[in-house]
Structure 1
């Protein structure tokens, strides 16, 4: 529940920023959307790399101070990934110009890419505070860095954007990042009971972390890239269907929060398992909870679908399209929840490369199909294709988890 609440806090902050910028000026909102189109996958890749730290810290739950060397190694790795992400954000104006984004929108970006690049570096500098706290059994404490970020970012955005535009939004992001990093560092310090400090990099130990973290970051990038291609394909259909797809995507992110929170909470439990039965039992419980939570959210959405979709659009045709596709979207989300738990389970077993291979197959097939499917069957076909891809992932991730969990307790995992 604390993990889920942290996700909700982050989402509320993001929605507030979008709302304030939209009220300020349309060009400002467009510029912000272009920059965050690169920021989101960059920060998600950093987050993916940081989540790979979980199985390395979880064994130290009963002796947190002994996890300090691992935390130091993780900071070196996360700063390396964060530097690449920050450079990608700094290149947004060049990329936007090269891809034909109107000059007015590019000029409106101003200093925002620099502020957001600084935010990515700050986020990376925490060395995965949230992941560390969950792994050490302190998931309740991970709410405070996210809540602090959301409150500072949202409050400063509302205060500064009317007079400073995107510069004010950038200051809000960076300041929120500073607060989040400080609160996260304090909570980690309290969790381990000693100062973290920093030491010289240990290449061999960092390489062990990278073998789990880098494939996980690549998996996140694949998912974001292919879902972006799906959105682009939906944009080639009709304005009504494009709007309906946007609403369905937003609703999917809402009902997936609980399952993702459960999947993250399961990582240390699976990582600490001493035998195959224990690892599989933890995986089954997590999968059952994740799918059950998704189905409960789905039932609520089916009951309140009409009033809820009215919050996103006042077009009756778009609402009817959303409600018509709601059952298909909910099936896709339930399958996504099940595969996510298995994917996080593979991370707990330090076999995230297996999850990367599964995504490369399932989402590779989805990527190849989106354009012809959109042209032939519209967004109904696209959501059917996404459902099929998630079903394939359930099978592939499940087989991978079954295969690798069989080795728990039988051999030393590196």
Structure 2
């Protein structure tokens, strides 16, 4: 077997550039809103807190296809059939998710969001609902390209769409606020889906318009649905943390939004390496190779996060807000944030390994345990210890989940190989 580090890096580097472009545009949007209005930044954070689990449900359903697609390298017709089945699954999830996005104002009222923050939502929930529907209907092309060993082609759709979003943010956010951020995301999504699907059709030929295969969809759902449920649980609880932060005040919500944005930047390696790891784990023939791949992935992402943490400090936070109170709170939380970023990154990579083993149900069990405990304590913790308490609970949760995942991976890899 070739060096696992080389295998993963060759596949992950194009994905890292893709994820990096997306993270930069998200940071740009956060910075523009943060300098425009703290209340608008808080509003954007609250709507995004709902979008993240909804989007995760759709993407989780599509991730379920990767182990099956990885087995289809060199067989274009089978690969297209796998993608078609995955999209029937994601369409159901996306339709439900769009309905949830339209209910954001009600969710905000139930969650106790400040009235001045909720008043800034405007059309943003509706714009995000359309984004979810588009992603469900046309998503999965990039994942298929990665599973087929063509991750470099992902750059052709992702970089132009990120550039379009960045330009749209610069033009629209100063004039439209959070509405402009929503329009920018929608434009980017439409372009990315158009280009990625065009590239996939050129590579494989054929058509996406095929009848569903119920038996194959059920097989895929056994991997994709638990992954969707896991991501929904994780990001729903993380959304709850955002609302708990908002109850400490607009400055707490804004500081939390900045830290979550920075975590997105630090997590680029885990996103890229995790995407590269899943199809490779699915294709290995023995437990030793699977363990080597996971160890290599953890080494790569840990080194990347520790290096990035050297550059994340007060100056990075200052770029995202002009409010002295928000800046001071953000800087005070950075040590806890560093522990959380490292633990979360390693947990994401281990989850990708479990998906490659088609063991996402076990990963769901670990995540439900960790995030269930976090959901139970987040409100009293926020009321008693404020933002410091919340950002102590977050790394503790990730450490617990990572420990459970590691035990599960060791057992499943012996069972499957």
TM-score in same-fold range (> 0.5): yes
Inter-partner Cα distance in structure 2 for 1:275 and 1:52: 21
Inter-partner Cα distance in structure 1 for 2:115 and 2:318: 34
- Asked whether the 8 Å contact 1:89–1:116 carries over to 2, the reply is yes
Structure of greater relative contact order (alpha carbons < 8 Å, 6+ residues apart): 2
- Asked whether the 8 Å contact 1:119–1:177 carries over to 2, the reply is yes
Partner of 1:184: 196
CA shift, 1:356, in A, is 0.7
Change (3 A) 1:369 1:207: same
Partner of 1:361: 369
Structure 1 residue 63 and structure 2 residue 75: aligned? yes
Partner of 1:412: none
CA shift, 1:265, in A, is 1.1
Inter-partner Cα distance in structure 2 for 1:394 and 1:37: 23
Structure 1 residue 349 and structure 2 residue 357: aligned? yes
Inter-partner Cα distance in structure 1 for 2:187 and 2:296: 39
- Asked whether the 8 Å contact 1:44–1:217 carries over to 2, the reply is yes
CA shift, 1:37, in A, is 3.8
Partner of 1:201: 212
CA shift, 1:18, in A, is 5.0
Change (3 A) 1:326 1:188: same
CA shift, 1:92, in A, is 3.4
Structure 1 residue 75 and structure 2 residue 87: aligned? yes
Structure 1 residue 215 and structure 2 residue 223: aligned? no
Change (3 A) 1:286 1:87: same
TM-score by length of structure 2 reads 0.85
- Asked whether the 8 Å contact 1:144–1:184 carries over to 2, the reply is yes
RMSD: 3.2
Inter-partner Cα distance in structure 2 for 1:324 and 1:34: 22
Unaligned runs of 5+ in 2: 1-12
SS in 2 for 1:300: coil
The superposition leaves residues 78-121 of structure 1 with CA deviations (integer Å, 9 ceiling, x where unpaired) of: 11111111222233355557777789987876655444323222
Change (3 A) 1:151 1:31: same
Inter-partner Cα distance in structure 2 for 1:392 and 1:247: 25
Change (3 A) 1:299 1:14: closer
Task: Report the more deviating stretch, 284-293 or 138-147.
Answer: 138-147
- Asked whether the 8 Å contact 1:87–1:117 carries over to 2, the reply is yes
TM-score by length of structure 1 reads 0.85
2:305 to 290, 294, 300: 294
- Asked whether the 8 Å contact 1:133–1:191 carries over to 2, the reply is no
- Asked whether the 8 Å contact 1:234–1:374 carries over to 2, the reply is yes
Structure 1 residue 391 and structure 2 residue 403: aligned? no
Partner of 2:7: none
Task: Report the more deviating stretch, 328-337 or 388-397.
Answer: 328-337
Partner of 2:8: none
2:140 to 121, 125, 128: 128
Partner of 2:284: 273
Q: Greater CA radius of gyration, 1 or 2?
A: 1
Alignment of 1:238-249 (within 5 A): 244-249=255-260
- Asked whether the 8 Å contact 1:274–1:408 carries over to 2, the reply is no
Inter-partner Cα distance in structure 2 for 1:109 and 1:290: 36
